[in-house]
Amino acid sequence: MTIREMSAPVAPTHLDVRVLTDRCAGCQECVIRCPTGALSMDTGHWVALADSDLCVGCRQCVRTCPFSAVVVDGPILVAPRVEARLAHPASLLGDVSEIRSGITGWAEALAEAGRCLQCPDPTCVRGCPAHNDIPGFIAAIRARDLEGAHEVLRRTSVLPDICSRVCNQSAQCEGSCSWSLAGGTPVAIGALERFVADMLPVPPPAPAAPTGELSVGIIGSGPGAAGAAWELLEAGASVTVYEKDAVPGGLCNWGIPDFTLPEAVAARPWHQLASAGVDLRCGTEIRPEDLEQLLETHDAVIAACGAGMPLRLSLPGAELDGVTDATTFLQAAKATLGDGMDAAAFRAAFGLAEDPGAPGRPVPRVLVLGAGNTAMDVARSARRLGLEATCVDWLDERFALTRPDELAEARYEGVEVHFLRTLTALRGKDGRVFGAELARTTQAAADRRPTVVAGDPEVLGIDLVVMAMGYRVDPAFTGALPGTPVRRATSGVADRSWSASGILASPASAFADHLPVGTLALGREIGLWSASLPVTERLWAVGDALIGPATVVEAMAQGRRAAAAVLDAGPARPARPTRPDGDGSSRQRRVLVCYESAGGRTARAADAIAGGFSERGDQVRVLPIARVGLAELAAADVVVVGSWVEGFVVAGVRPAKAMRAWLAGLPRLGGKAVGVFCTFAVAPKGALPAMRQALEARGAVVLGEASFGPRELGKRAEASGAAAFGRELARRSTTKATARVLVE
Amino acid sequence: MALETQDRAARLADPVPVAVRLRPPEREGLAERFGPSDPSPGLDLLRHPLVARLVRNRKFQFLLILPNQIVFWTVIFVGLLGTAVPGLNFGAAITWYVWFCLVFVMMVVVGRAWCAMCPFGGFAEWIQRRTLFQRTQKTLGLGRKFPEPLARLGFLIPVVSFLLLTWIEEFFNIAGPGNPAATSFMVIGIVGTALAFFLVFERRTFCRYICPLTSLIGTVGSMGTVAGFRTRDREVCLTCKTKDCMRGGTDGFGCPWYTWPGSADSNLYCGLCSECYKSCPEDNVGLFLQKPLTSVVAPRRRRADVAWAITLLWGLVLYQQINATTAYASVENWMNRNLHFPHYPNPVDYLGVIGLGALATAGVVRGIAALLARRDVELSRPGSFADSSSRFRAYFLPVSYGLIPVVGADYFARQLPKFFQHSARVVPAAAHIFGFSSSSSPIYSFSLATNSWIVVIQIAVVALGTLAAAWSTWRITGRELVSISRSGLGVRLATLGLVLGCGAVAAVLYLIMHAAD
Ligand code: SF4
Ligand code: SF4
Ligand code: SF4
Ligand code: SF4
Ligand code: SF4
Ligand code: SF4
């Protein structure tokens, strides 16, 4: 059976794929990516050859051909998507059962799995923040091998049951699915992922025998913490988790209502982690000022403290009674709904005296500010507590950050959602809020701020206002974690293999709510790689603490990445007893020499310095700075940075422009050992100190600096001067302890 | 720690590549396909560090374009504002006495050297890229793809635009040169058209699909000794994950000519812009020299559009020669009178002679094919204009490539009189911009050779071209036609006969033209 028959049982119609033989250069980019084998090579002419009969119209060839030499005409040949069913309860009041019931049977799962093309260069994987091997686990489903599917998922995720429920797939994996990029309906990846976890519980962590050596403290117990703890535990580290609440889970626990994420699912990871040996200390709040002490107790600390502070608007009437925030509301709602439903007590707590259903009295109305995830959760919880709920958001519905499925469900449940409205003032009586003034707005494009339209405000009678625009990180923590929040915006040339995959080529399909999924995914990469670099020595940050409000899957992936970086770096607290064979030195050190060279002299100096390191058996990479990204920095134990010096003889002498720009864009390099050098014609002047400062400002530890003038760089002296510097750096960086002494 | 080093590294590694399972690229037939046309590694100019540094520099092409840019804007302004005496007008003089001849020399010796320094495309490209030489990320304009049905015609549009430009040029007597302002208007026209195409379409769509010169430079240029920018190691290209040379990388743009160094088999479509060299992250691109005529003889893939372009260009040069004869002048007059057309060149006979020349050549080849093709070899495959094959095409494509040197030589010979008789005028013309010198200056009427010498040189050039064509055709016939023909010797003699015939026609026409003078 061909893929075409498998994924589209309907008889194909006039689908035509043609290669423009004049322009086709035979590079095979399309051939190696076509999922169906419809493209092959005409080896005589060395151009691609298309077979329309095998084509399914996924347009991957069109997206990936560098010379736009393929044309596909005709429909997208894929069977209709198996939509997961919704289970709306007969009566909402007090009901917290899960609304989405997912794919329930093998027949449906296999049908949906059959829609997957098993793309050779799967864009869905790039779109998934955790980079789950989606075709891999779907192939396992097809083979009815649930264990295999878990095995594949486990390589990148520890929360498949949770992510598959709370991810906004339309902006992530499903938005980036080939079918979606081609304008069709993507494979229901989230539903399939959930199917795996529903059918066979996520296997618990398999902890390695603890060696008792590496001890890591994790602040918080949200998804980032879970990812990190899991990874560390399985590597044999001893893990201590400090959670300020009485129950672990962070936002997954109190912030996401049960009808989206059932409590049993949310609690699963911490049950498993605690029984596998994580030292879970609930009710222990870590303040920023406690960090120092924590770093003395542990070899490494991962800050996964989350964003728990609700955003509040300041506007006339905000101080009135009956104005609250999402955290307070959701926590109370969760407690009430999960706990025998004492709705009267709940209403009393929020000053809503009226008894719903009593004749002649209106049902209390909650005004929810915002229409994002949090707002939907608030409004839907309110409906379950017997209240009316209205959401207002100043964005246009087309550009809003709401999950489309969630919005539809909320509306079904009777939530009124108004877009293009903004709250201008609250009206009160006797100190209690009773009305809201709403103005209309317009928004021209997704990246434009909405503007208020002049006119009389509408007045809405309300009894409670919940500010649910989202959360922010405790500013005290942001201050203690330098360099955060990291901005997830790319600049310059995008990662080349991403461009080659075609994910950036059609940025906005209807299914993905016209979001540029590729660009968003590339932005997330910055967060992911940043998580592997410590913010200060032995201190890592993940999730909200690193990038500001983050999604569950992003936090989890960053947690895993930070844990991997901790394991890789093998940090040690000063008081830790050392082992005879040393710890960080048990593997070959990786050195990165990066340079900005104009005439080739700096490049040659870089080579010579690299030679100094390799003599000691280090593994050295020499790269121009244009090719040094976060991944390269993350993988290096020692970084040497060199530049030529620009300026006129002695005036305006400084590091080359490209180097200055690169230094300015550097992430945190907390505690990373670095060396600095420059090459000059007349005098280096302030170039070295400038580079040193830029690096130290990012937390790097400078081991040494050197400048090489024309004499040192002369044909023969060059090698010796720079190589000697390399050898010296190599010697100084042999142990981190020495490095510290040198700097003091 | 209990963990093995490898495990640690794997944890920190990017998980995406694990899920990427590309099909292996096709490698079959590579040696056969590219063996004959691949240049030898020793002829890579970029192995020399100094050349490499020069070409790596982003200002390299800018510095090639800049002097030409200055000259051509001078041509425009001097043509419009300067003296109306063509020989004394720097704009007209340098364009027609020197430039056209130099372009020919560059074509024959190098290939697309002109394209690397061309001020028309160069100017439009600066604007399209919003920079003179930097690697920018955003382009100006619509960035459309050239419509597929037109792109399929390949070289046919440029050859038609060359015929059109030549007709306009003859009609207004621009290249004579006549009124220098006409030269300015022509140059403005070309620059304007180029700019329009660069702003509507992506990359060098204009150069590849429209530019009148591209058909001549592409075909005649294949005699050149520069193979162009090519891959150093094809295996590296096949497994290359980024194809930065095509898509554009950190330091260079994607190939503006839609050429992949990994599969280029001739210098036909390499504009020598060096972008691929700059963008390749693997340093896998070289600038290779080759033996003269390699790009005529060696490429395995023959293209129908190129073949027709060659024969049409052949028709055009024949037309230009024929109408310089006395006998033809009376025919032309008679036609213009009866068709009420103001003056030379009458489009009917213009197209008529060109078409006849092309069709006659094709007809002879058709005859050869009919007579000599083996019936037991399957040669036909249906397809679009660019892809289909037939018995006729199996002969026509290789044979027309073999004609390139004789066509090229003929064009070159035709430029010689202007060069020999008048190129010295550039000096007084240049001085005239500043108000010195006049047509009475002795340099103005200085001729590099007498008329009879010029004819001798012209015939020698044609003879040389014919010889080169004969050699190429012999090789091509041996490689591609003998195996599909009933008689090896027969087909060799037949194709050779065609080449010699063409050469003889050109030479005889020069003699008659001389007599007409
Ligand atoms: S549209 Fe998809 S299936 Fe069809 S040829 Fe292109 S890549 Fe292959
Ligand atoms: S990707 Fe484009 S240029 Fe490359 S082989 Fe396919 S059709 Fe040809
Ligand atoms: S983790 Fe989220 S984004 Fe990734 S595959 Fe699962 S549902 Fe999709
Ligand atoms: S889920 Fe979509 S993008 Fe991913 S492999 Fe399947 S068809 Fe391709
Ligand atoms: S970028 Fe370099 S290695 Fe890759 S295909 Fe182009 S020339 Fe080859
Ligand atoms: S990019 Fe390379 S192959 Fe393309 S035209 Fe320029 S030099 Fe030639």
Query: Which two tokens mark B264?
Result: 């280029």
Domain co-membership, B250 together with B398: no
Q: Chains A, B: CB contacts under 8 A, how many?
A: 176
Confidence of residue A466 (pLDDT cuts 50, 70, 90): very high
Please tell me the distance in Å from B115's CA to the nearest CA on chain A. Answer: 19
Query: Which two tokens mark B69?
Result: 């840019």
Instruction: Compare all CA atoms of chain A with the CA of B256 and give the residue at the minimum distance.
Output: A67
Domain co-membership, B381 together with B457: yes
Q: Are the CB atoms for A99 and A475 separated by under 8 Å?
A: no
B263 with A25: Cβ contact below 8 A: yes
A493 with B19: Cβ contact below 8 A: no
Instruction: Compare all CA atoms of chain B with the CA of A557 and give the residue at the minimum distance.
Output: B15
Is B123's pLDDT higher than 80? yes
CA distance B260 to B246: 6
Is B375's pLDDT higher than 80? yes
Which range among A86-90, A573-577, A607-611 shows the weakest confidence by mean pLDDT?
A: A573-577
Please tell me the distance in Å from A626's CA to the nearest CA on chain B. Answer: 7
For residue B32, tell me if it sits in a domain.
Answer: yes
Does A534 touch chain B if contact means CB atoms closer than 8 Å? Answer: no
Domain co-membership, B318 together with B393: yes
CA distance B113 to B120: 14
Residue A475's SS3 state is: helix
Domain co-membership, B134 together with B43: yes
Is A743's pLDDT higher than 50? no
Does A579 touch chain B if contact means CB atoms closer than 8 Å? Answer: no
What would the pLDDT profile of B393-430 be if each residue is shown by its tens digit? 999 999 999 999 999 999 888 888 777 777 777 777 77
Residue A211's SS3 state is: coil
Ligand 4: residues with CB < 6 A are A 116-119, 122-124, 134-135, 177-179, 186-187, 189
Interface test with B, best of A18, A21, A22 (most B CBs within 10 A): A22
For A282, A342, A355, A361, B32, the CA distances from A358, given in Å and listed in that order, are: 42, 17, 6, 6, 90
Domain co-membership, B414 together with B291: no
Q: Is B254 in the pocket of ligand 5 (CB under 6 A)?
A: no
DSSP annotation string for B68-111: HHHHHHHHHHHHHHS-S-GGG-HHHHIIIIIIHHHHHHHHHHTS
Is B215's pLDDT higher than 50? yes
Last residue of a domain, one of B297, B324, B346: B297
Task: Give me ligand 1 centre to Cα A377, in Å.
Answer: 41
How many other CB atoms are found less than 10 A from the CB of residue A45? 19
What are the residue boundaries of the structural domains of chain A, listed by start? Answer: 3-73, 323-471, 590-735
Domain co-membership, B177 together with B100: yes
Q: State the residue for tokens 């030292």.
A: A279
CA distance A190 to A260: 14
Domain co-membership, B283 together with B339: no
Last residue of a domain, one of B235, B270, B297: B297
For residue B3, tell me if it sits in a domain.
Answer: no
CA distance A262 to B423: 90
What per-residue confidence (pLDDT) applies to B330?
Answer: 77
Is B284's pLDDT higher than 90? yes
CA distance B482 to A187: 55
Task: Give me ligand 3 centre to Cα A302, in Å.
Answer: 24
Amino acid identity of residue A678, one-letter, is C
Mean pLDDT of all residues in chain A?
86
Confidence of residue A741 (pLDDT cuts 50, 70, 90): very low
Most confident of A102-106, A282-286, A485-489, B308-312: B308-312
Of all ligands present, the nearest one to the C-alpha of A66 is: 2
* Of A43, A133, A236, Cβ closest to residue B28: A43
Is A498's pLDDT higher than 50? yes
- Between A89 and A51, name the one with better pLDDT: A51
What per-residue confidence (pLDDT) applies to A643?
Answer: 92
Domain A3-73 has CATH 3.30.70.20: yes
Confidence of residue B104 (pLDDT cuts 50, 70, 90): confident
Domain co-membership, B89 together with B174: yes
Estimate to the nearest angstrom the gap between the alpha carbon of B374 and the chain centroid.
34
- Between A691 and B449, name the one with better pLDDT: A691
The CATH code that applies to domain A323-471 is: 3.50.50.60
What is the ipTM score, two decimals?
A: 0.88
How many other CB atoms are found less than 10 A from the CB of residue B400? 27
Confidence of residue A714 (pLDDT cuts 50, 70, 90): low
Contacts of B207 in chain A (CB under 8 A): none
Please tell me the distance in Å from B230's CA to the nearest CA on chain A. Answer: 13
How many other CB atoms are found less than 10 A from the CB of residue A190? 27
Domain co-membership, B250 together with B379: no
CA geometry: angle B299, B319, B406, nearest 5 deg: 30
Is A146's pLDDT higher than 90? yes
CA geometry: angle A310, A316, A318, nearest 5 deg: 30
B24 with A155: Cβ contact below 8 A: no
Angle, in degrees to the nearest 10, between helices B488-516 and B304-322: 30
- Between B346 and B318, name the one with better pLDDT: B318
Q: Is B184 in the pocket of ligand 5 (CB under 6 A)?
A: no
Domain co-membership, B213 together with B318: no
For residue B178, tell me if it sits in a domain.
Answer: yes
Domain ranges, residue B89: 8-297
- Between A456 and A175, name the one with better pLDDT: A175
For residue B94, tell me if it sits in a domain.
Answer: yes
Mean pLDDT of B425-442: 70
Does A66 touch chain B if contact means CB atoms closer than 8 Å? Answer: yes
Contacts of B234 in chain A (CB under 8 A): none
Does A619 touch chain B if contact means CB atoms closer than 8 Å? Answer: no
CA distance A82 to A258: 24
Domain count, chain B: 2
Domain co-membership, B156 together with B212: yes
* Residues contacting B372, CB < 8 A, separation 6+: B485, B486, B487, B490, B491, B494
What per-residue confidence (pLDDT) applies to B427?
Answer: 73
Is A1's pLDDT higher than 60? no
Last residue of a domain, one of B265, B297, B329: B297
Contacts of A22 in chain B (CB under 8 A): 151-154, 303, 305, 386
Residue to mutate (ligand 3; options A159, A189, A192; most atoms within 8 A of CB): A189
Q: Is A50 in the pocket of ligand 2 (CB under 6 A)?
A: no
Portion of chain A with pLDDT greater than 90, in percent: 42
B286 strand-pairing partners: B230
What would the pLDDT profile of A426-436 be if each residue is shown by its tens digit? 988 888 888 89
The protein residue whose alpha carbon is closest to atom 4 in ligand 6 is B255
Contacts of B386 in chain A (CB under 8 A): 21-22
Q: Is A277 in the pocket of ligand 2 (CB under 6 A)?
A: no
Confidence of residue A584 (pLDDT cuts 50, 70, 90): very low
Mean pLDDT of A575-582: 58
CATH class of A590-735: alpha beta
Residue A99's SS3 state is: coil
What per-residue confidence (pLDDT) applies to B198?
Answer: 95
What would the pLDDT profile of A294-347 be if each residue is shown by its tens digit? 999 999 999 998 887 888 888 888 888 889 988 889 988 888 887 676 777 888
Is A441's pLDDT higher than 60? yes
Nearest of A440, A347, A429 to residue A388 by alpha carbon: A347
Q: Which helix (H) or strand (E) holds A107?
A: helix A106-114
Instruction: Compare all CA atoms of chain B with the CA of A598 and give the residue at the minimum distance.
Output: B57
For B35, counting Cβ atoms within 10 Å of its Cβ (0-12 exposed, 13-18 middle, 19+ buried), the class is: exposed
Domain co-membership, B326 together with B283: no
Does A164 touch chain B if contact means CB atoms closer than 8 Å? Answer: no
Mean pLDDT of A10-31: 85
Contacts of B29 in chain A (CB under 8 A): 43-44
Does A153 touch chain B if contact means CB atoms closer than 8 Å? Answer: no
CA distance A721 to A723: 6
Please tell me the distance in Å from A526's CA to the nearest CA on chain B. Answer: 12
Contacts of B16 in chain A (CB under 8 A): 125-126, 131, 497
Contacts of B303 in chain A (CB under 8 A): 22
Interface test with A, best of B23, B203, B237, B479 (most A CBs within 10 A): B23
